[in-house]
Structure 1
């Protein structure tokens, strides 16, 4: 009589663990799908970025700049150097911002994957313990 009760309880526990395991697998599949979507978004963003850079370079190539200097004492080389330095700083800042954004996205994804893997492993361990 006690053995039957114990067996029924173990069967209930096993069924619950199987349900938990199914939920974990479902969650893992969902997270994997989200990761794939984020990866696709990143690829799309990179392609869009490359297209924009190409368009901007084409615009720069096709543009004309007319500069009229009224001062006879202006140092054109110094002005060009100042503009070039400002452009370089802006380009470096934009590149750093973009790299930081991508790193943050990948870190978020890595954390989610680690949590889901840990939950899956924990569920497997519990299942193994109950099956012993």
Structure 2
């Protein structure tokens, strides 16, 4: 019998975001953008460091520690050794999830005056 295993499901829901951050590696600071975020990790575009290296993600005056899980030329995936439960990145994640919960039609209806036509005829 084969020892084939399916990969384990992710423990956290990933949320698309656009958050400008600074990543601190061992010798340098690199600007990047988080485009995918969860409590357990993130995808950082515009920054790349070697796999298995440790780094710091600076955002909102706070530091979040991370380990690079995979890296390509211009992006990388990081895992947080301590899950996000508070702080600036966690707040940004919650804001992005809350914004995604509002349907576009509800956003437009809430900003329209309750009148008929362009001139406000009743």
Q: Name the TM-score class by shorter chain.
A: under 0.3
Larger relative CO (CA 8 A, sep 6+): 1 or 2? Answer: 1
Structure 1 or 2, whichever has the larger Rg, is 1
More helix by share: 1
More strand by share: 2
TM-score (normalised: structure 1)? 0.21
